[in-house]
């Protein structure tokens, strides 16, 4: 057994026993109550699952195993310019411990050894029109690997329930190892005439992904390390994570449950917002006829968007009530690495303009930018302006969190997820 799996197995067994005992003794303890607005309002704030890998605070933002983004940046093993390696975050999410450099290097090598993508994936992708949305190609590519599922095979052979986590671990590690190759293949076939770039196995997971996309720029590698770290997990209630959890709870294997989650990420209110943001900015620049719009011009354009009864992409959040620390981390990156970008200056001006305008509407609970408000401008700076691909990048990162959490969920023996729905008549009856 590799050292990560060994370490995880020890921790998971201890927690499994602890949770069982807690459940037995305190199962009837009331942990909250549900209001009518929560039932009719998208289940905001209802606590209904265990998610070990991260927790979101409305003010502070995300903490991975208790560590904030600035702490992660300081503590995790990093690339040459100091940006954290996502391999380290994955290790942390599975074990609760900050890994050593040696442990992270071993994980990089482990993923390299699992990264070969079966030919049928490329054949399947090549059968699709090249202009099929990259997120559609991504989920089809993931599903084309499903026949390799170790969980699926072992379940059919009669695997014991206590071994489920082990098979999910193997599938998850294989999937994470392969995703950059699948994603880069989609990018190159969609936008670079099918001229593919062979992997460089001397590189870490993020730098090799950057390389296969077409860039060996050291700053872009650093951006990818940061990007793939900060998008990885946002507790369990977000739409993609929750979908993975729901589908996984039926004992559908990691390929199927992850593909399902990616279809949730592809919605414009969720991960697709990263493409919507840059599209909206490009349209604004075109309409105004300037790459350096003033705050007054931006204000006017925001008003037009609101008047057309559309949302301002990249702003607002279902849980957060302060600027997203993932936005701030990207802003800091831009301040450190990028000088004189009109597009990035525009993103910062939008940050000055939009919140008071959303606040003035009197209904938006969070007027601040989320993670998607900044990412596109950074990618455009490094030459990646094909914005329909952006959500695939988010998806590759999100695999780390949802699959790590999925391993935990199986190790803790969580049951089939099946919350209760009600009819409107039932609601009216309760009010009599």
Residues labelled as active-site residues: 270, 317, 372
Nearer to ligand NMX, 165 or 315 (CB): 315
Answer whether 206's CB lies under 8 Å from 228's CB. Answer: yes
- Pick the closest to residue 258 from 60, 135, 398 (CA basis): 398
- Closest CA relative to residue 151, chosen from 134, 130, 169: 169
Binding mask 236-275 for ligand NMX (x = CB under 6 A): ---------------------------------xxx-x--
Rounded distance between C-alpha atoms, residue 248 and residue 251, angstroms: 5
Q: How far is the CB of 430 from ligand MLT (least distance, A)?
A: 28
Residues between 227 and 246 with contacts to ligand MLT, criterion CB under 6 A? 234, 238
Closest approach of ligand MLT to the CB of residue 318, in Å: 5
Tell whether residue 318 is a contact of ligand NMX (CB under 6 A). yes
* CA 299/CA 294 separation, integer angstroms: 9
Q: Phi and psi (nearest 5°) for 134?
A: -55, -30
Site for ligand NMX (CB under 6 A): which residue of 128, 197, 311, 338? 311
CA-based max dimension of the chain: 68
313 binds, among ligand MLT, ligand NMX, none (CB under 5 to 8 A by kind): ligand NMX
Distance CA 82, CA 302 (A): 36
From the list ligand NMX, ligand MLT, none, which binds 314 (C-beta under 5 to 8 Å, kind-based)? ligand NMX
# residues contacting ligand MLT (CB under 6 A): 7
Nearer to ligand MLT, 151 or 408 (CB): 408
Each residue of 61-89: b (16+ CB within 10 Å) or e? bbbbbebbbeebbeebbbbeeebbbbbbb
Geometric angle at alpha carbon 405, from 182 and 150, rounded to 5°: 55
CB of 68 to ligand NMX, least distance (A): 18
Site for ligand NMX in 335-364 (CB under 6 A): 358, 363-364
User: Rounded to the nearest whole angstrom, what is the least distance from the CB of residue 60 to ligand MLT in the complex?
Assistant: 14
Q: 371 to 410, contacts with ligand NMX by CB under 6 A?
A: 371-372
The answer to whether the CB of 222 falls within 8 A of the CB of 210 is no
User: Rounded to the nearest whole angstrom, what is the least distance from the CB of residue 404 to ligand NMX in the complex?
Assistant: 19
Residue whose CB is less far from ligand MLT, 51 or 111: 51
Considering only residues 306 to 345 of the shown chain, the ones binding ligand MLT according to CB under 6 A are 318-319
Strand partners, 55: 63
Q: Which does 4 bind (CB under 5 to 8 A by kind): ligand MLT, ligand NMX, none?
A: none
In sequence order, the 6+-apart residues with CB closer than 8 A to the CB of 66 are: none
Q: Which does 312 bind (CB under 5 to 8 A by kind): ligand NMX, ligand MLT, none?
A: ligand NMX
Q: In three state form, how does the secondary structure of 325-379 look? A: HHHHHHHHHHHHHCCCCHHHHHHHHHHHHHHHHHHHHCCCCCCCECCHHHHHHHH
Residues that bind ligand MLT (CB under 6 A): 234, 238, 270, 318-319, 370-371
Residues that bind ligand NMX (CB under 6 A): 269-271, 273, 311-318, 358, 363-366, 370-372
């Amino acid at each position: 057994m590799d050292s990560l799996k060994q370490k995880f197995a020890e921790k998971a067994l201890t927690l499994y026993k602890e949770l069982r005992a807690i459940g037995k003794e305190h199962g009837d303890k009331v942990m909250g109550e549900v209001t009518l607005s929560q039932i009719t309002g998208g289940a905001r704030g209802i606590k209904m699952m265990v998610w070990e890998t991260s927790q979101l605070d409305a003010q502070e933002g995300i903490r991975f195993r208790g560590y904030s983004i600035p702490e992660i940046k300081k503590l995790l093993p990093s690339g040459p310019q100091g940006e954290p390696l996502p391999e380290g975050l994955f290790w942390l999410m599975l074990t609760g411990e900050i890994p050593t450099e040696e442990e992270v290097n071993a994980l990089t090598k482990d993923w390299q050894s699992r990264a070969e993508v079966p030919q049928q994936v490329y054949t399947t992708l090549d059968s699709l029109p090249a202009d099929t949305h990259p997120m559609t190609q991504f989920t089809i590519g993931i599903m084309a690997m499903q026949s390799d599922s170790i969980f699926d095979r072992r379940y059919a052979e009669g695997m014991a329930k206590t071994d489920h986590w082990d098979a999910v671990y193997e599938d998850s590690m294989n999937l994470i190892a392969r995703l950059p190759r699948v994603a880069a293949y989609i990018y190159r076939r969609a936008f670079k005439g099918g001229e593919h770039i062979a992997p460089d196995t001397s590189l870490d997971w993020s730098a090799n992904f950057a390389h296969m996309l077409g860039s060996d720029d050291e700053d872009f590698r650093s951006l990818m390390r940061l990007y793939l770290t900060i998008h990885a997990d946002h507790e369990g209630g977000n739409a993609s994570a929750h979908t993975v959890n729901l589908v996984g709870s039926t004992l559908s294997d990691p390929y199927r449950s992850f593909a399902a989650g990616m279809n949730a990420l592809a919605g414009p209110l969720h991960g697709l917002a990263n493409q919507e943001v840059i599209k909206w900015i490009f349209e604004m620049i075109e309409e105004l006829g300037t790459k350096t719009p003033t705050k007054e011009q931006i204000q006017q354009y925001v008003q037009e968007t609101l008047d057309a009864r559309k949302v301002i992409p990249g702003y607002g959040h279902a849980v957060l009530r302060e600027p997203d620390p993932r936005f701030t981390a990207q802003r800091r990156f831009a301040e450190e690495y990028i000088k004189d970008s009109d597009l990035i200056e525009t993103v910062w001006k939008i940050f000055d303009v939009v919140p008071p305008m959303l606040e003035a509407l009197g209904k938006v609970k969070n007027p601040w930018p989320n993670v998607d408000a900044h990412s596109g401008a950074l990618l455009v700076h490094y030459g990646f302006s094909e914005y329909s691909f952006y959500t695939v990048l988010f998806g590759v990162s999100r695999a780390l969190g949802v699959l790590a959490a999925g391993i935990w969920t199986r190790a803790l023996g969580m049951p089939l997820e099946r919350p209760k729905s009600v009819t409107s008549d039932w609601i009216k009856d309760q009010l009599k």
